[in-house]
Structure 1
Amino acid sequence: MRSSVLTALAALSLTTTSFAQTPPVLPDDQAQMKAHVLFLASDALRGREAASPEYRIAAEYVAAQFSAAGLAPAGDAGGYLQKVPLVAFHPADHGDVVLTRPGTAPQPFVFAEDYTPGAIAGAARTTLDAPVVFVGHGLVAPRYKRDDYAGVDVRGKVVALFAGAPASFQSEERAHFQSPATKAAIAAAHGAVGVIVLSRGTLPPGGGGWDRARTTWARPDGTGEMQGAPMLATLSAGGAAKLFAGARTPWKMILAKASDGEARFTAEALGTNLAVAIRTAFEPGTSANVAGMIRGSDPALGKEVVVLSAHLDHLGVKAEGTGDLIYNGAEDNAVGIAALIEEAKRFKASGKPPRRSVLFLAVTAEEKGLVGSDYFARHPTVPIRSIVADVNLDMPILSYPFEDMTVFGADRSTLGPIVAKAVGTLGVTMSPDPDPAQGIFVRSDHYRFVQQGVPSVFLWPGQKGPGKAATAEFFAKRYHQVSDDLAQPIDWAQGIRFVNANYAIAREIADGDARPRWNKGDFFGLLYGGYGAKWSWHLAFTFPAKAGVQ
């Protein structure tokens, strides 16, 4: 009996202590936002990796919240989910790369010493035997007076090129041009059948990471979606020297010149063939985007759609190690999804439907290369031509009282002034990109809408006042780390300010008289045939649409 009493008293003492340590009760709106993040970033969801059972639970949770917010289903077959077929792909083995030159015996290249094979999404087996043409960095950029393909015919041939793009290019445009996908698309537009990437040094020991799996969305035959010429292999400087042996321009001269990032090369046929055989292994998976819609009230404008997007997936669980192994992804991007849900509730609570329709979209596989958003943009559940804007929420850092907002892409379309007006009513200003070299504009899900010609912006709390230090700390200590969890400081009041700012932006776009349009002459507007950007047939041919950044 005495023991039981003491046990009960001890329990009561612990309960009393627990109550004493409970944090202050949050206002309802902050508590609701926090509740979403508590669930989505919990250990139980094991990092929400795309195609995992835990990701499916997260998707069902978002679908339920969209329903509670009064959104109509906008996924497949009258539901909230859009099935996204995924496929992971990687080289099945080392492959074969053999150099042939008239009058000499075939010369096999040595794996990990001379080359590492590419991962080719579009075919289980890729074989070819074709002449090789050197094309510098493989760029064609008329506005920079750059054509690395000038003077050569690469139809039916393999192009050899260096990675990267000149630092003198505008930062977002440079990020586009240095993308392997862009280089592959330019090569294909000129008729090339494959791409070889040239290195200026040695390859990592053992080919380091050569067999790493990549992910894209799957075609009906089980292979992966692929744009452009296949990336066949990466050559070391030693392998490149073998390739250039006997060429008009010696490899030593090319290599010395390549140290200058602004260097221009004269394209030339190398007088050699490469016989390449690459085998690719595929592992299928299934994931889902989540889509809900508020129908527009205006008889004409209601046919137009404003998309508000955020990615739901994160990195899953570490493959090995001890201790905490779960990438919870609280800021990246449970907070963004929570903001999306709470923004939807703002529309319902207003009692006033928007003039344009608004589609709320939680996408999968962002962490695997913007895959879910690419799938939606290519297989939209509403006509792609009806989508007039995308506003993307990805990893808003909410550990400080933000004084401004950074809006990537604001200077490229009329969305910039719309956003400035909306956030200005909340006492928040807009600031320019604090680190243009990062090319953030092409690195999140909104870019997949840009590639379909849709004016788009991506918003972050800005770096005025305490923002710069807080942002730097997050990237140094928590970005893509297991420490991006609920133990970090998240200021839920700032979360509500972020929701309010985004609601004001979405409402301004949805209710405005004029459809958002690209600024005339904007690079991306021209590149992808966007509304208002004076289409150029020359650019359309030179830079095929959908040459995206992975």
Structure 2
Amino acid sequence: MRLPLAFALVALSALPAAAAADADGARWWSHVETLAGPQFEGRLTGTPGYDRAAAYAAGQFKAYGLKPAGTDGFLQPMRFTVQRVLGEGSSAALVVEGQEQPLRIGPDLLLGARIPQPKAIEAPLVFIGYGLHLPEAGYDDFAGQDLKGKIAVYVNGGPGDISAALKAHSRGSETWRAARAAGAVGLIALPTPKSMDVPWTRQMQSAGQPGMYPADEDLRELPGEAFSASFNPAEAEKLFARSGHRFADVLALADAAKPIEGFPLNLALKAQVASEVGQVASANVVAKLPGGDPKLKAEHVVVTAHLDHLGVNTSGQGAPYYAGALDNGAGVASVLEIAREMAAAKARPKRSVLFVLVTGEEKGLLGSKYFAGKPSVPAASVVANLNMDMALPLWKFDSVLIYGIDESTLGDTAKAAAGAANLEVVADPYPDRNSFIRSDQYSFIRAGVPALSFKFGFKEGTDRAAIEKAWRAERYHALADDLDQPVEKAEAVKFDAFLAQLITDVANEPATPRWKDESFFKRFAK
């Protein structure tokens, strides 16, 4: 059958565009293939494999004509203390009226490694609800609690009338600050099955991963030692057996996003923690595209993705290393491709753009915290951050999930760019995952810089949500995040194009991005 002439012309004109898209997708994927390859051995912070990956990225930036903008060429070196908590030699038990009830390291609880652990501890346990310290929002689980010399136990989540961003912000270092101020000597986290990214059995498999924190004590968010652990929710009734309460009831309140009262657990925890401690060096990779405006070029829009992953597989089973193809080889590939396109463009953006590939994200956003606190350019010149972490190009890119979109004028610029690209902006479908604080844009927010992070959009209850949930359960931080998985390369190219345009829009915006007056995070502004 012969096609009408007009239709045939349209079809023919689409061929070069389709071929170009395929070529762009292949080039983007080639970076992922390289970064997930055996020569980089999983890109663990502080290893030769990571250093080779950093050298590869720096070489790409140099080939594109970008300027080195680290403190040592393209690199910004830093040092970390490494803590590996050992299963052998560690033990834990609940103490009831002087009698010890042994706990299993692994099946019952996992010991933390991101904060210096004490070698031994014995302290009463107190349940403190969600462990949120948000007096500004009229909610404080620490108020009225007697925690001096005790270990606080808290469940993940929070009341539904508190925003996802604010609940997430009250996690991590904020929880520790509140606990330390109340005199607590440790924290035990109780994840809820509803909010768990990774099944407990897989968490047990990765428990041998080393933790890291800044070698310089002045840069640590929590000075000194503190006991940290997480408890398997399937075994959590053991903690509540003498409290007059059931964990099942607590879990029902958490799943319904209802307030939860704290109470004594009427037992203590005794633990011995065996660990190995050492030091490593690692570096962020920093490249600069100078701006074209005589005045605005002194300001910097920072584009980030984390280069590190989990390193070699020491289990003796399966692949020899964690490839980290989508977490976050894909994000690094996007930064590299956006940098290449912007460097090749005839017109330069008005502000300068820094492309920063950070280290230590998997160990607690360490590289981005270092850069945000001690940038390689004047700190006051950093006006915005746009971050790419595990965007998951697993379906059509017709919607985008943007963390931080309601907090600053940067979000308004992003909404306009999404509208121009015919993209629907969707809300965070799983607020109790604390995603807002789990990617590198949060380091910039804490430093007072408006920041956003991006993923392919999806809504709860859809096929896309099922795909995303399955990916996290089966591939997130697993050996299966490799090159042998279905990836929509052409859709990744569309994602990169959207972000490239947004970066350009932010860099060309006459007004500097600013926090909205009603944003809680305005308090961090410089």
Q: Which residue of 1 aligns with 2:165?
A: 172
Q: Which residue of 2 aligns with 1:21?
A: none
| 1:376 CA displacement | 2.4
Q: Which residue of 1 aligns with 2:276?
A: 281
Q: Which residue of 1 aligns with 2:35?
A: 40
1:163-202 counterparts in 2 under 5 A?
A: 163-168=155-160, 169-177=162-170, 179=171, 181-195=173-187
AA at the equivalent of 1:500: A
Q: Distance in 2 between matches of 1:470 and 1:97?
A: 39
Q: Does 1:77 align with 2:68?
A: no
AA at the equivalent of 2:368: S
Q: Deviations over 1:398-454 (max 9, x none)?
A: 344322222222122211220122233334343333444433222212122222222
Cα distance, 1:310–1:79 mapped onto 2, change above 3 Å: closer
Q: Distance in 2 between matches of 1:131 and 1:487?
A: 48
Q: Does 1:140 align with 2:133?
A: yes
Cα distance, 1:84–1:28 mapped onto 2, change above 3 Å: farther
Q: Which residue of 1 aligns with 2:519?
A: 522
Residue correspondences, number: 488
Cα distance, 1:228–1:269 mapped onto 2, change above 3 Å: farther
Match for 1:396 among 380, 391, 398? 391
| 1:282 CA displacement | 1.0
| 1:60 CA displacement | 0.4
Q: Distance in 1 between matches of 2:332 and 2:86?
A: 34
Q: Distance in 2 between matches of 1:506 and 1:116?
A: 43
Q: Distance in 2 between matches of 1:118 and 1:466?
A: 35
Cα distance, 1:231–1:223 mapped onto 2, change above 3 Å: farther
Cα distance, 1:281–1:519 mapped onto 2, change above 3 Å: same
AA at the equivalent of 1:461: F
AA at the equivalent of 2:156: G
| 1:324 CA displacement | 4.0
1:85-96 counterparts in 2 under 5 A?
A: 85-90=80-85, 93-94=89-90
| 1:264 CA displacement | 4.2
Asked if the contact 1:446–1:457 (Cα under 8 Å) also holds between the matched residues in 2, the reply is yes
Q: Distance in 1 between matches of 2:126 and 2:36?
A: 50
Q: Distance in 2 between matches of 1:87 and 1:309?
A: 24
Q: Distance in 2 between matches of 1:228 and 1:524?
A: 27
AA at the equivalent of 2:178: I
| 1:94 CA displacement | 3.3
Gaps of at least 5 residues in structure 2 are: 1-18, 193-199
Q: Which residue of 1 aligns with 2:142?
A: 149
Q: Distance in 2 between matches of 1:481 and 1:122?
A: 24
Q: Which residue of 2 aligns with 1:265?
A: 261
Asked if the contact 1:149–1:267 (Cα under 8 Å) also holds between the matched residues in 2, the reply is no
Asked if the contact 1:87–1:223 (Cα under 8 Å) also holds between the matched residues in 2, the reply is no
Q: Does 1:504 align with 2:496?
A: no
AA at the equivalent of 2:363: K
Secondary structure of 1:47's counterpart equals coil
AA at the equivalent of 2:419: G
Q: Does 1:428 align with 2:423?
A: yes
Q: Which residue of 2 aligns with 1:355?
A: 350
Asked if the contact 1:165–1:174 (Cα under 8 Å) also holds between the matched residues in 2, the reply is yes
Q: Which residue of 2 aligns with 1:252?
A: 244
1:309-324 counterparts in 2 under 5 A?
A: 309-320=304-315, 322=317, 324=319
Q: Distance in 1 between matches of 2:485 and 2:415?
A: 30
Q: Distance in 1 between matches of 2:51 and 2:394?
A: 29
Q: Deviations over 1:239-285 (max 9, x none)?
A: 8679x7xxxxxx22586874543454367898x99998756431333
Q: Distance in 2 between matches of 1:100 and 1:468?
A: 44
Cα distance, 1:435–1:153 mapped onto 2, change above 3 Å: closer
- CA radius of gyration, larger in: 1
Match for 1:216 among 212, 216, 236? 212
Q: Distance in 1 between matches of 2:236 and 2:470?
A: 38
Q: Which residue of 1 aligns with 2:7?
A: none
Cα distance, 1:320–1:254 mapped onto 2, change above 3 Å: closer
1:307-386 counterparts in 2 under 5 A?
A: 307-320=302-315, 322=317, 324-386=319-381
Asked if the contact 2:128–2:261 (Cα under 8 Å) also holds between the matched residues in 1, the reply is yes
Match for 2:487 among 487, 490, 495? 490
Secondary structure of 1:518's counterpart equals coil
Q: Which residue of 2 aligns with 1:9?
A: none
AA at the equivalent of 1:361: V
Secondary structure of 1:347's counterpart equals helix
| 1:65 CA displacement | 0.8
Q: Distance in 2 between matches of 1:454 and 1:297?
A: 22
Q: Distance in 2 between matches of 1:174 and 1:221?
A: 27
Asked if the contact 2:413–2:506 (Cα under 8 Å) also holds between the matched residues in 1, the reply is yes
Q: Distance in 1 between matches of 2:482 and 2:298?
A: 40
Say what the alpha-carbon RMSD is for the aligned residues. 4.2
Match for 1:460 among 455, 480, 483? 455
TM-score, length basis structure 2: 0.77
Q: Deviations over 1:367-408 (max 9, x none)?
A: 333232233233322343332211111223334432222222
AA at the equivalent of 1:265: E
Match for 1:161 among 132, 141, 153? 153
Q: Which residue of 2 aligns with 1:3?
A: none
Asked if the contact 2:77–2:281 (Cα under 8 Å) also holds between the matched residues in 1, the reply is no
